[in-house]
Amino acid sequence: MIDPNLVKKLREKTNAGMMDCKRALTEAGGDFEKAEAILRTKGIASADKKSSRAAKEGIIASYIHMQGRVGVLIEVNCETDFVAKNDIFREFVKDITLQIAAAHPLIVTRDQVDPSIVEAERSIYRAQVKDKPTAIVDKIVDGKLDKFYGTICLMEQAFIKDPNLTIKEYVSSKITELGENIIIRRFARYMVGEEIAETCSPSKDSCSIN
């Protein structure tokens, strides 16, 4: 029998339904971490199904940090005005602005990185491992590129409030909780005295200039 307190704890951490939490714990044999992973996987799958739906409502939000030295401006979209006014959605958007202010991503997703920048990084990584066996060079280079993306791409960063989650997984959890597609459309992060530089392909409309 699954401990009701464990079900409640899993519900509070994942925002999944009580029955979903109970089923996940049963499937995991009472292992809390395994149950959380099961819910996370199912949540991402559910969110992926909604990702093709139009999201034309939402809000533009701002956040000012360090007594006016850092500022963030962001557009986050959802499907309906009802969700756009929802406290859960607005708290989520606030969390994302805090993430951007603290972790300094440059773009939303990896497909927005200028291909020439990716190739330059790839060349550097290949030069670093040129003495390694040919069979493992590509795997090492790909691993280094993933770390590069994890630094500059918002969706691939670890969530500052829960490093066990990526921002993509956090977004997916809110899509599941709210029942609507959610898209982080674009953002800009400003810091007093920071050099202005383009960080992604100008063909993308959701790039940031920092």
Q: What is the pTM of this model?
A: 0.70
Which domains does the chain show, CATH number per domain?
4-50 (1.10.8.10), 57-111+153-191 (3.30.479.20), 114-149 (no CATH)
- C-alpha 104/C-alpha 23 separation (Å) is 38
Comparing CA positions, the residue from 19, 13, 22 lying closest to residue 40 is 13
- 21 vs 88 pLDDT, higher one: 88
Which range among 90-104, 142-156, 196-210 shows the weakest confidence by mean pLDDT?
196-210
Kindly report, residue by residue over 119-157, the tens digit of the pLDDT.
999 999 999 998 988 889 999 999 999 999 999 999 999
The 8-class DSSP code of residue 174 comes to: H
Please give the single-letter amino acid code of residue 57.
Answer: E
Q: What is the pLDDT of residue 153?
A: 97
Kindly report, residue by residue over 26-42, the tens digit of the pLDDT.
999 999 988 888 887 77
Alpha helices in 67-133 (DSSP H): 81-84, 87-103, 115-128
Of all residues in the chain, the percent with pLDDT exceeding 70 is: 86
